[in-house]
């Protein structure tokens, strides 16, 4: 349930960034100019797709898997947790790359991006812990 809640929060953050990038919102609420610098940099797109849209799709995938894993038929199975671990692992790796770009190349920090990095890392850790809980011979609490 924790990973699912975090996935919803991450989806909302990424959706906000994508909606701003798409011009559907006015000024970005950030507190510093770093968010706009990052979001308007050439690194705000990956293979022609806005990074925020990739994030929203990724978090939505995590949300769907998390909600499916909460269904009674899947509570005792490791499949949803393994999928959460794999998806969030890819997310952590991509986020590490983007964080490197913020620090070393763009030299600006987006608070929303940092929040997303914390969220995806927390989902990954939660999935790791959940995998231990669903190990053969153990029951989920």
From the list 62, 45, 64, 63, the residue with the least C-alpha distance to 53 is 45
Domain residue ranges in the chain:
2-23+31-133
pLDDT at 102: 96
pLDDT, tens only, 84-120: 999 999 999 999 999 999 999 999 999 999 999 999 9
Torsion on CA atoms 46, 51, 56, 58, rounded to nearest 10:
50
Give CATH for domain 2-23+31-133: 1.20.1440.130
pLDDT tens digits, 46-71: 999 999 999 999 999 999 999 998 88
Output the pTM of the full model.
0.89
More confident residue, 70 or 140: 70
């Amino acid at each position: 349930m924790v990973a699912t809640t975090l996935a919803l929060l991450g989806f909302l953050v990424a959706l906000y960034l994508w909606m701003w990038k798409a011009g559907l919102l006015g000024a970005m609420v950030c507190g510093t100019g770093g968010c706009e610098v990052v979001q308007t940099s050439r690194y705000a797109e990956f293979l022609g797709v806005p990074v925020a849209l990739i994030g929203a799709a990724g978090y939505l995938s995590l949300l769907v898997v998390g909600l499916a894993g909460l269904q009674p038929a899947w509570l005792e199975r490791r499949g949803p947790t393994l999928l959460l671990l794999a998806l969030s692992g890819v997310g952590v790796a991509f986020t590490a790359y983007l964080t490197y770009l913020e620090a070393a190349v763009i030299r600006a920090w987006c608070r929303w991006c940092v929040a997303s990095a914390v969220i995806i890392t927390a989902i990954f850790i939660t999935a790791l812990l959940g995998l231990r809980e669903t190990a053969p011979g153990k029951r989920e609490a």
